[in-house]
Amino acid sequence: MRPTRLGPYDVIVKIAGGGMATIYLGRAREDDRGERLVALKVIRHDLRNDERFVTMFLDEAKILSRLSHPNIAATYEYGTDDEQHFIAMELLVGRTMLDVWDACKARKLSLRPDHAAWIAARVADALHYAHELTDESGVALHLIHRDVNPSNIFLTLEGSVKLFDFGLAKSTGRRGKSVEGIVKGKLPYLSPEQVAQLPLDRRSDFYMLGTTLWEMTTMRRLFKRDDDVETLMAVRAGLVPNPQARLPDYPEGLWDILRRALARDRDDRYSTAAELARDLDAFVDSQGSADEMPLLTAEILDALFPGEREERAQWLRRARGYLREPGRATLPPPVPVAGASVRSMIPPKPDSSRPSGVEAPPRGRKT
């Protein structure tokens, strides 16, 4: 059952669904700024009276409302309308890192190490901001994301990097409590202490980001195995292969960073995400390429997903047309947006061309 209006937002069309929420396209009329399109995250109709799910949803909403950082998908407001809980979020169009990884894999390509490091540095910036967050009284919230992985890192078509999905985040004052024996997060990206169900701190987020960066720069999965039990055993063991064993040109400086971020003993990891970001940015600077990274990101998305920029522009035009003339316009189709598990209408097409900014794997070696 699609709501027609939530707070100040007209609800236009469903974008995605899954888990405990549905994502809709929404629009608010702003007197002095025209109109604003947003992504409306709404608790599923069949769960809206389930106290446990409502508590989890409101916990997420309260966390998101306090986050304001250029590398975190923005939240405008949250509320309840006719017993329907909703969160109004920034509408971001682009691709997740998982989409990019899959597209590169299909074409037997890989991201440049300095580009992958730059993306990870922006995520580390976002994590540091979240880790240092306080409440209204200045008391630390001790926020931990707990689900840093390629599907929660978003690249916009404009070339920016956004971390999203704080639905599993742990913080002081959160009303919803984890159930004993339940592991939160995607299994191949968990830290060893998550698998061991030890008390967590921010260093688990560094480990998950390190796993993501290792995979981004090797085009191989680090801990994922054929089944969940084997995956959990691999995570618990925490054995991280040196990428240079398969990729002789792999930068030593980047491996040094990864080795520290992926230390099995968390006391040997970075103490803050700011330190991790600093080292990643220093590596990117050593390659002399930092200034080109946003443009390079946009160019790679255009190359890996041809035609999608125009699809996005048409989608937005149709959305606005529908809003102005609901009796005539056609509903816009879904497009990939942050906060929703949505695939583009245009799948990646492997071909013989090589997009600028991605590299072919070393000859004679498998990815």
User: Residue 150 has which token pair?
Assistant: 């390629």
Write out the two tokens for 109: 């390509």
Strands (DSSP E) contained in the chain are 5-6, 9-18, 21-30, 34-43, 75-81, 84-90, 94-96, 110-111, 153-156, 161-163, 358-359
Q: How many Å apart are CA 94 and CA 316, to the nearest integer?
A: 13
Q: Which residues pair with 75 in a beta bridge?
A: 89
Active site (catalytic) residues: 147
* Helix/strand/coil for 170: strand
Distance of alpha carbon 45 from alpha carbon 202, whole angstroms: 34
Q: Token pair of 173, please?
A: 């004052």
Tokens of 26: 């929404």
Secondary structure class of 94 (helix, strand, coil): strand
User: What is the DSSP secondary structure assignment for residue 137, as one 8-state letter?
Assistant: T
Angstrom distances, CA of residue 61 to CA of 83, 126, 316:
15, 18, 26
Q: Contact 93/156 with Cβ under 8 angstroms?
A: yes
Q: Which amino acid is at 148?
A: V
How far is residue 314's CA from residue 303's CA, in Å, rounded to a whole number? 19
Q: How far apart are CA 162 and CA 117, in angstroms?
A: 14
3-state secondary structure (DSSP) of residue 315:
helix
Residue 71 and residue 353 in contact, taking contact as beta carbons nearer than 8 Å: no
Cβ atoms of residues 5 and 16 within 8 Å = no
Question: What whole-number distance in Å separates Cα of residue 311 and Cα of residue 184?
Answer: 35
